[in-house]
Amino acid sequence: MLKNSTILVTGGTGSFGNTFIPMTLEKYNPKKVIVLSRDEMKQWEMAKKFEGDSRVRFFIGDVRDRERLYRALDGVDYVVHAAATKIVPTAEYNPFECVKTNVMGAMNLIDACIDKGVKRVVALSTDKASSPINLYGATKLASDKLFVAGNAYSGEHGTQFAVVRYGNVMGSRGSVIPFFMSIRDTGELPITDTRMTRFMISLEQGVELVWHAFADMEGGEIYVKKIPSMNVTDVARVVAPEARQKVIGIRPGEKIHEQMVGEEDAFFTYEYAEHFKILPQINEWSTSPERIKDGQRVPEGFVYSSGNNTEWMSDAELQAWIDTNEGKIGKI
């Protein structure tokens, strides 16, 4: 599907884009990959990695700028929407800015993709959009709803929209593993709550879920990858076995456990070998055989949380991942 196509990645200089683009170039050999972002320095740094590869193009722009999106989407077949204001405390203290990017930006992109005849769009979501308790999660839930409903707006244009949702990305900038690694020499690691658990997914797995969504989608699905959980205290112990763990209390907007499928979603959620699929509640799409395919509906009251997960990552598995990826942890 992506072979010989033109793909645009919003927020493409972030952790996801730095992994998605080289993996997609190697696997699918697209005609062109356009990186849209607003940070010229990150683009300059990223461009050095692809020097001499005419397939990779860079486009300064912001999803808040509707007119710029129309220009960027000329001739584009597929879009991955990774641009977002993502840091929970930043969103709490700058709520207007978070809404402008995560909600208004989503609306701009949906309209522009429909009008420019884009074939398929996959938007990245987060566990925090499931039963949100912070502004970031609330804006991403709104964004998810917008992309789902976008399929009803595309009409004869035929643009299809879907969403992928996953939790803590191991080793990405600002995440817990590089944070613990950066301060482990102090001999003390802060733990917000000893009960806290997190889903563990690699960037490569996130990319593969996006590829699957592009191939499988009919429009309106939310794809949730099955991934293992780990207690944050265990993560800290693996990263710094000798360090003391100091409990500092939960930060504003933080959850004890991550959740990717809520109880209210269970009525519309189907299980597959490697993922779950939350189907749209509107337009009777949740009963569409084309969307359900070979899925089995989950039981009533089902919740997919990092705390009630049936799959857990061991200390040895995390250590093996760190040993393999140490050179790039926290750098993309």
Catalytic residues: 128
Tokens of 18: 């730095």
Tokens of 261: 């499928």
**DSSP letters along 26-76, please?**
HHH--SEEEEEES-HHHHHHHHHHTTT-TTEEEEE--TT-HHHHHHHTTT-
Identify any residues that bridge with 80 across adjacent strands, giving them in sequence order: 9, 122
The Cα–Cα gap between 111 and 70 comes to 9
**Residue 18: its H or E element:** helix 15-28
Sequence-distant (6+) residues with CB within 8 A of 12 are 20, 21, 34, 35, 36, 37, 46, 80, 82
What is the 8-class DSSP label of residue 102? I
